[in-house]
Amino acid sequence: MKDKQLEKVRKGDFLLLPHYMKWVAILPVLCGIVLFFLKEYQQFLNDDVATSMAGHLILLGFLLIMLSRDKFPDERLLNLRHKAMAYAFIHGMILVIVTPFLTYLLSSLFRSGTELYFMDYGVFSIFIFQIMYLINYWRFKQDL
């Protein structure tokens, strides 16, 4: 790596959006929440499409929050960001590994047949990953 690129990595000046994007990210999260709760009352989308759109809007908002810089970034906050990402990754991997087994166990307990039922948990696991990152980052910042 060149010295200039290495210095950017050390300072944390890569792949992060400006701080005001945290406030912009509130808009898709609120739109997603409103669409999720008012999906029965709207006429132009069916329930599955409205639920999917609401979930993806919330995921987009959380992603923008995750990728936004802090107002006063320093090296400690960058280390906390990396630590929170590591914790969220571990929680996410545990979720991805355990969820099929729990789904199989619960479907075999509540169904009389031997049908395997694996729900689509991709969006759910991304949501949990983002929530775990945001919770851990907030918690680590409170400990400073």
Q: Are 131 and 62 in contact (CB under 8 A)?
A: yes
Longest dimension (CA), the chain: 63
Q: Are 45 and 112 in contact (CB under 8 A)?
A: no
pLDDT for the residue numbered 138 = 92
Domain ranges, ordered by start, for the chain = 1-71, 74-144
pLDDT for the residue numbered 132 = 92
Per-residue pLDDT of the chain (144 residues; tens, 9 = 90+): 566 766 665 665 567 888 899 999 999 999 999 988 887 777 777 777 888 888 889 999 999 999 898 888 788 888 898 899 999 999 888 888 887 787 777 777 776 444 444 445 677 788 888 999 999 999 999 987
Cα separation of 59 and 127, whole Å? 6
Q: Are 88 and 73 in contact (CB under 8 A)?
A: no
pLDDT for the residue numbered 8 = 64
pLDDT for the residue numbered 118 = 46
pLDDT for the residue numbered 117 = 44
pTM for the predicted model, two decimal places? 0.74
- For 28-96, give the DSSP string: HHHHHHHHHHTTTT-SSS-HHHHHHHHHHHHHHHHHHHHTBPPSS--HHHHHHHHHHHHHHHHHHHHHH
Measured over the CA atoms of residue 50, residue 54, residue 60 and residue 61, the dihedral's sign is positive
Cα separation of 95 and 74, whole Å? 32
pLDDT for the residue numbered 124 = 78
